[in-house]
Amino acid sequence: MINVTKTYLPPFEEYQEYIKGIWERNQLTNNGPLVRELEKQIQDFLGVKHCLFVSNGTIAIQIALKVLNITKEVITTPFSYCATSHSVVWEGCKPVFADILTSDLCIDPQKVEEAITADTQAILATHVYGNPCEIYELQRIADKHNIKLIYDAAHAFGVNVDGKSLLSFGDISTCSFHATKVFHTIEGGAILTNNDDYAWLIDRYRSFGHIGDEYLTIGINGKNSEFHAAMGLVNLPKVGEIIQARKEIFEIYDSILNWEKLGRPELRLATEKNYAYYPIFLESEKVLLRVKAALGEHQIVPRRYFYPSLSTLKFVTEESNCPISDDFALRALALPLYYDLAHDDARRIAEIVNQHL
């Protein structure tokens, strides 16, 4: 079976060394030394001022909304994983969907500006497949209208734009460190910001709002454990190696797939990619289903990603007009891509796709 992704596991002995230390200290959670060390190393790796390690990427978005005091309308993308829009609704805010660009499938800044009302408090944009949003234009819009800018950067760890980490843009960026990601901590996520006040409040919110016996604010349990931090500490030095291995598979697909009958996202910025996903766009949903079934006959499991368009989920929004997202969601397919996918298998996958276009 070749799945769309496969978790990278480091040498067991390296992870075991960290586990021995946890046993000796007998501190498993509550902001232990490995959590603090991982946060510091990520800050240095990304060039951001604050990294707050949390239990997953979804709670990261929820805490970001809470920290920025967002209670009304949030303009967001319909082309993302459901955690993006679910977090908005879960926090009692109203998601307002702005359609996407056909070039890179990220949120369209023009549609964002058109959607702004007196109740708009924030933009929540996703770097789709790790492909950067129009970060400078979105920042201009946020500044002009005095609203907050949050990035769902779940796919963007290791991506750089103009020599800076993509996670350093906006008021807050959130990231997922789920086991399927380029960099993972088994389960986990992070909230990244260069604002000292936000960082202090994030730290309180993720740990019930108190320090010792002093209760300072409301809070929730968004902490993560020493075991998860240990996995992150082992994996972080290997990110470059992991990205390079994924790049090689990426280039195999690039060289074999029939681009006369397929589409893919464009990169418009000076971007260093992390090769997080390999999406292709088929001519129609009918063709997508045919290709997906053909791959399945060979025990190859791609993923419809993202599907469905979030603008079609009636429990998220009562009405929405996002024809571009609705269309691409029917035609987008992510091919298998992971660290040790055999190059011969990548060639075989590409050839099967071509045979059924």
- In this structure, what DSSP letter does residue 130 have? G
Q: How many helices (H) and strands (E) are present in the chain, helices listed first?
A: 12, 14
Q: What is the DSSP annotation of 189-222?
A: EEEEES-HHHHHHHHHHTBTTEETTEE-S---B-
Q: Determine the pLDDT at residue 182.
A: 98
Backbone phi, then psi, for 345, in 5-degree steps? -65, -40
Q: Determine the pLDDT at residue 317.
A: 81
Spatial distance between the Cα atoms of 272 and 249, rounded to a whole number of angstroms: 16
Residue with tokens 């890179």: 104
Residue 318 has pLDDT above 80, yes or no: no
Half-sphere exposure of 6 (CA within 13 A, CB side): 16
Spatial distance between the Cα atoms of 118 and 239, rounded to a whole number of angstroms: 43
Residue 277 CB neighbour total at 10 angstroms: 23
Residue 146 has pLDDT above 80, yes or no: yes
- In this structure, what DSSP letter does residue 238 have? G
Q: Determine the pLDDT at residue 267.
A: 84
Encoding tokens for residue 200?
Answer: 């202090």
Residue 119 has pLDDT above 90, yes or no: yes
Apex CA 348: angle with CA 346 and CA 353, to 5°?
95
Q: Determine the pLDDT at residue 340.
A: 97
Cβ–Cβ under 8 Å, residues 16 and 234: no
- Choosing among 3.90.1150.10, 3.40.30.10, 3.40.640.10, 3.40.228.10, the CATH entry for 238-355 is 3.90.1150.10
What residue ranges do the domains of the chain occupy?
Answer: 12-237, 238-355
Please provide the average confidence, as pLDDT, over all residues in the chain: 97
Cβ–Cβ under 8 Å, residues 130 and 273: yes
Q: Determine the pLDDT at residue 268.
A: 75
Encoding tokens for residue 63?
Answer: 């805490």
Average pLDDT over residues 334-355: 98
Nearest of 105, 97, 150 to residue 132 by alpha carbon: 105
Q: pLDDT tens digits for 203-214?
A: 999 999 998 888
Rounded to 10 deg, the angle between the 323-331 and 285-297 helix axes is 30
Q: pLDDT tens digits for 248-282?
A: 999 999 999 999 999 999 987 789 999 999 999 99
pLDDT band at 158 (very low <50, low <70, confident <90, very high): very high
CA dist list (Å): 140 to 114, 123, 250, 292: 14, 12, 33, 41
- Choosing among 3.40.50.300, 3.40.640.10, 3.40.50.1100, 3.30.530.20, the CATH entry for 12-237 is 3.40.640.10
pTM assigned to the model: 0.96
